[in-house]
Structure 1
Amino acid sequence: MNEDRLNLPFVGIPTFLRSPIRTDLKNLDADIAFLGIPSDEGSPWYPGARMAPRVVREMSVRFAEYGAVQQAAGIYDIDTDKHYLQYERRNERIVDCGDVDILYTNPAGTFANISDATSDILQAGAIPVVFGGDHAVSYGVVRAYEEPVSVVHFDAHLDYRPFVHGVEYANGSPMLKIGKLPHVRQMVQVGTRSIRTSKAALQESLDRGNDVVTVNGFRDQGVDGILRHLPAGGKVYVSIDIDVLDLPLVPGCASAEPEGFRFEEMRQMLFAIARHADVVGLDVVEINPMLDVRSNNTSLLGAQLAVETIGRVVEQPAYLARKGRTAQ
Structure 2
Amino acid sequence: MTKSKLKKIVSSALVANLIIGSVITALPTQGAAVENTATGNSAEKRLVSNLKANQNLLKNTSFASTNTGIADWSAEQHDTAGSGDPTNIVPYGTKDGNGWFSFATGRLAIRPFDNGSIELYSRADSRNGITQTINTIPGQTYTISYDYNTTKYTTKAFAIGTATFTQFIVKDVATAVELKKDRIDTGGNAGWVRYPSVENRVGNSGTVANTFVATGKTTKIYIGTIMSSQDQTNEMYQTISNVQVLGESTAQLEAPTLQPVKNQDPKITGSLNGSIDTLQEVQIYKNDIYVGTATVSGRNFEMAVSPSNVGDVYKAYAVDIWDVKSNPATQ
- Higher strand fraction: Structure 1 or Structure 2? 2
Please tell me the TM-score bracket, short chain as reference.
under 0.3
- Higher helix fraction: Structure 1 or Structure 2? 1
Q: Which has the larger radius of gyration?
A: 2
TM-score scaled by length of structure 2: 0.25
TM-score scaled by length of structure 1: 0.25
